Structure 1
Amino acid sequence: MKRRQRSFKGALIFCLGLSGCAAQAGNVSGINDAMVPHVAEYHFKMTHAEQGSSIVDASGVLGYRFEKMCDGWVTEMQQIMILQGSEGTPINSAYSMTQWEDFDGTEYRFRMRDYLDGTKVDEIVGKAVREDDVVRVSYEVPVEVEEELPGDTMFPTQHSRALLERAKAGDKFANDLVFDGSGDAPTNRVAVVISPRKEAANTAEDPDEIARTTFHRMNLAFYPLGAAENGPSTEMAVDFATNGVAQAMRFDYGSFEVLGTLDKINRLPLPDCGPQ
C-alpha cells in the first residue's frame, strides 16, 4: 500500500506539473498569453476496484496553486487521501509539495513532505541544475547527496511545454525522461499518448471562466529510471487544457482506479515586475 501511495503522489506531481507547460515558451508576452496562473480545488474518489484488490476504497481532496513570479513559476500542492485496505483501518495520508522552476528550464527547486495519520514520515528538499551535458541534482534533506542525470532529462514544466507543443502540431505520441524530485522514483521515462482537441465538459465553480477551454487528453505511463523492464509503476490520464488548466485526472493502478474532478478554480493576478 505504501508503494501505491507514493506512486499516486508522484503521478499527481507530473499531472499538475502540466499546468506549467508554457513556462518555457520564450518571451514574457508569450508566457502571459499562454498561461493562466490559478488556484484550484480537486476531489478524488475511487471509480473501480477489482475483486481481490488490496485497496477497496479511496477518497481525498487537493488544493493546488500555480503562480507566476518575476523569476519563474511556483507550484504548491496540498493533498489528503484516505485509503481503505481490504484488511485493517483506513490510512490517512497527507502530502505537500512546493516547486519553483525558472523560465529557461535550467534550474528547479523542490520540497516534499509526507504524513501518515498526522505524523511526518518523509521530507525531501533539493534542487536540480542543468549544465552542459548533465542535470546535476543536489539533495539537502533527508541527507546531503548529489547525483547526475542524463542531459536530456526534463523538469516538469519543461516536459509539459513539449507535450503541448506536440499536441498543437498534431503529434500523437511522446517519450521523455522527466525528473520531479518526489518519492522513491523521482526520475521516470514517461510515455504519452495525446488525443485530438476536445471540448471542455467539467462543471467546476469557475467565476473567471478559465476551465472552459478546449483540452487534450494525455494518457501517461511512468517507467522508473533503472526499472523500466518491470513495466509502468503508474498509468494515468489528464485532461490538459490549452491554457494550462488540468480539468480532470484519472489514475489506473490495475486493481483499482481513482478519478480526480475539478471543483473550484480562480485566476491569480500576474506579478508587477517592472520594465522588462
Structure 2
Amino acid sequence: MSGLFLKVKEHRRSLSGTLILCLGLSGCAAQAGSVSSIETAMVPHVAEYQFKLTHAEQGSSVVDASGVLGYRFEKMCDGWVTEMQQIMILQGAEGTPINSAYSMTQWEDFAGSKYRFRMRDYLDGTKVDEIVGEAVRDSDAVRVTYEIPVEVVEELPADTMFPTQHSAMLLERAEAGERFGNDLVFDGSGETPTNRIAVVISAQKNAENSADDPDQIARTPFHRMNLAFYPLGEAENGPSTEMAVDFGANGVAHGMRFDYGDFEVSGTLDKVTMLPQPKCGS
C-alpha cells in the first residue's frame, strides 16, 4: 500500500494546485487591466466536497475510497488567501485502510509578483512531509526560496505563472470561447511543484449540482476543464496527473473527477457559503 499512498499523494497535491488555480482569481487580472470586473465576478467563499470511488477496474489496487475536502478562498486587503484541508481513506485489495490527510495554505498578492505557500502531509495521523517557501517575480526569472524542509533557492523561467494568475487566464479563455491552453505554473506543492499544464475547455454548461447553497453561488453556468499536468523537464514521459473540474463563472467549483489509472474518484460539492469582502482603507 505504500506505493499506492505515494501515487495518490502526488495526485492530491496536483488537486491542490488545480483548485487554487481555478477557484481563485487575482494577479494577472491586474496586468490585463480588468481588475474591477474580475473582482466583481469573484465570490470569496468556503466550500466542502465529498469524495467517493466511482469506478475500479478488475484487479485494481483500490477497492474503495472516500473522503472530504474543505476549501476556503478569501480576499484580504493585500491579496488572496486560499486554505485547503483534505482527508482521504483508501482501502486496498489487501491490507488495512490508509488514512491520508493533507493541508495547504497559499497567499498571492494582487500584482502577481509575490506568492507564499505552506503544505503539510499526514499519514495515519503522523506528519510525513512539510514544505514552506516564497516565490518572487523578477524581470528575468521567478525566484523561489524554500524554508522547509531545506533552505534552497530555485530559479524558474520568467513566464512561469502563479496559480491565481493562471486561473484568471483560464477563465478569460473560457469567456472568449477559446478551447485550449498550455501554460507553465508553479504552486509549491509536492515533488513536482512546476508543471506545464495543458487544458481543454468545454462550452458553457448549466449548473447541475444540488449543494446546500444558501447564497445561490453554485447555480451559475460552468465550464468543464480537463487538465493534464506535465512536470517541468519531464514532458516526454507524458502527464503525471489528469483531471476534470467544473468551474463556475464566479469562481466556485461545482465538482471534479480524477482518473488514477485503475480507479476513478469523483468529488461532489456538498455545501458552499459566501464570505464577506474585506473592509480596507483607501
TM-score bracket, shorter-length normalisation: over 0.9
Which of the numbers 187, 196, 199 marks the counterpart of 1:192?
Answer: 199
Determine whether 1:102 maps to 2:113. Answer: no
Task: Work out the CA distance in 2 between the residues paired with 1:119 and 1:139.
Answer: 22
CA shift for structure 1 position 22: 4.7
User: 1:7 maps to which residue?
Assistant: 10
CA shift for structure 1 position 85: 1.5
Task: Work out the CA distance in 2 between the residues paired with 1:196 and 1:21.
Answer: 20
Aligned 8 A contact 2:26 2:112 in 1:
no
User: 1:41 maps to which residue?
Assistant: 48
CA shift for structure 1 position 3: 2.7
Q: How many residues align?
A: 275
Aligned 8 A contact 1:23 1:31 in 2:
no
Q: Aligned residues: percent identity?
A: 74
User: 2:263 maps to which residue?
Assistant: 256
Cα distance per residue 1:168-206 (max 9 Å; x no partner): 111110011111100111111111000011100100000
SS in 2 for 1:183: coil
User: 2:118 maps to which residue?
Assistant: 111
Determine whether 1:219 maps to 2:226. Answer: yes
Which of the numbers 239, 251, 254 marks the counterpart of 1:244?
Answer: 251
Task: Work out the CA distance in 2 between the residues paired with 1:88 and 1:226.
Answer: 36
| Equivalent residue letter for 1:107 | K
- Residues 48-87 of structure 1 mapped to structure 2, 5 A cutoff: 48-87=55-94
Aligned 8 A contact 1:6 1:184 in 2:
no
Aligned 8 A contact 1:77 1:98 in 2:
yes
Aligned 8 A contact 1:175 1:189 in 2:
yes
Aligned 8 A contact 1:22 1:244 in 2:
no
CA shift for structure 1 position 236: 0.3
Determine whether 1:153 maps to 2:160. Answer: yes
CA shift for structure 1 position 23: 5.1
Task: Work out the CA distance in 1 between the residues paired with 2:38 and 2:231.
Answer: 31
Cα distance per residue 1:194-249 (max 9 Å; x no partner): 00111001000000000001110000011111221111111100001100001100
Which of the numbers 167, 173, 179 marks the counterpart of 1:172?
Answer: 179
Task: Work out the CA distance in 1 between the residues paired with 2:139 and 2:209.
Answer: 43
| Equivalent residue letter for 1:21 | L
| Equivalent residue letter for 2:24 | G
Q: Cα RMSD over matched residues?
A: 1.2
Aligned 8 A contact 1:61 1:81 in 2:
yes
Aligned 8 A contact 2:17 2:189 in 1:
no
Task: Work out the CA distance in 1 between the residues paired with 2:254 and 2:27.
Answer: 18
Provide structure 2 residue ranges, at least 5 long, that are not aligned to the other structure: none
| Equivalent residue letter for 2:9 | R
CA shift for structure 1 position 28: 5.3
Which of the numbers 18, 22, 25 marks the counterpart of 1:21?
Answer: 25
Task: Work out the CA distance in 2 between the residues paired with 1:116 and 1:69.
Answer: 32
Task: Work out the CA distance in 2 between the residues paired with 1:86 and 1:229.
Answer: 32
TM-score, L = length of structure 2: 0.95
SS in 2 for 1:21: coil
Task: Work out the CA distance in 1 between the residues paired with 2:234 and 2:248.
Answer: 31
Provide structure 1 residue ranges, at least 5 long, that are not aligned to the other structure: none
Aligned 8 A contact 1:20 1:244 in 2:
yes
Task: Work out the CA distance in 1 between the residues paired with 2:132 and 2:198.
Answer: 27
SS in 2 for 1:109: strand
Task: Work out the CA distance in 2 between the residues paired with 1:185 and 1:53.
Answer: 25
Task: Work out the CA distance in 2 between the residues paired with 1:240 and 1:11.
Answer: 16
CA shift for structure 1 position 29: 3.1
- Residues 196-207 of structure 1 mapped to structure 2, 5 A cutoff: 196-207=203-214
CA shift for structure 1 position 163: 0.6
User: 1:267 maps to which residue?
Assistant: 274
Aligned 8 A contact 2:26 2:80 in 1:
no
Q: Which moved more, 1:100-109 or 1:14-23?
A: 14-23
CA shift for structure 1 position 254: 1.5
Q: Which moved more, 1:4-13 or 1:58-67?
A: 4-13
Aligned 8 A contact 1:22 1:34 in 2:
no
